Structure 1
Amino acid sequence: MAKSLHLHAPGTPVSWRWGSATAHGVIESVHTESITITSKGTQVTRHGKPHNPAYLIVQPHHAHKVLKLHSEVSETP
């Protein structure tokens, strides 16, 4: 199933698969180039593109930040 071409903006709530569960967060920023962050002591890189940007996502209940590509997330209500 193809992802929608509708890209998400900062402030958009999103979810993604995390093992057998679903994780949730809010997009903090959008990147159409490579970006690296340190999350839980590990460097994480996503190679954002104009058609598949990388999202820096905040998980408010855990105070963690994660990187996900557009193709890895779904908008949640």
Structure 2
Amino acid sequence: VVIGRTFVKLLRWGLRFHSVFHVLEFVSALIETAYVTAGLAFFAGAIEVLASFLLPHEHVHFKGLIPTVHEECDDSDQDP
């Protein structure tokens, strides 16, 4: 459980760090007047920042192809 929490924390910070590269890509594209590329870089960076802050609050159980998503986990209702 501790390893899982550490992994999720590292993943969150990795997404945030990677979004910095999208900001640099966005600025570089604006300087080069590549507006379509700038728009795509801005969109990708915004999605990553939002995901790093919003998605970690959810907990997912995968049961085949259908995931169960919730904010708090009660392991007593899970299959062994």
The structure richer in helix per residue is 2
- Same fold at TM > 0.5: no
TM-score of the superposition, structure 1-length normalised?
0.22
**TM-score, structure 2 normalization:** 0.22
Quick check: which one's strand share is greater?
Answer: 1
Q: Which has the larger radius of gyration?
A: 2
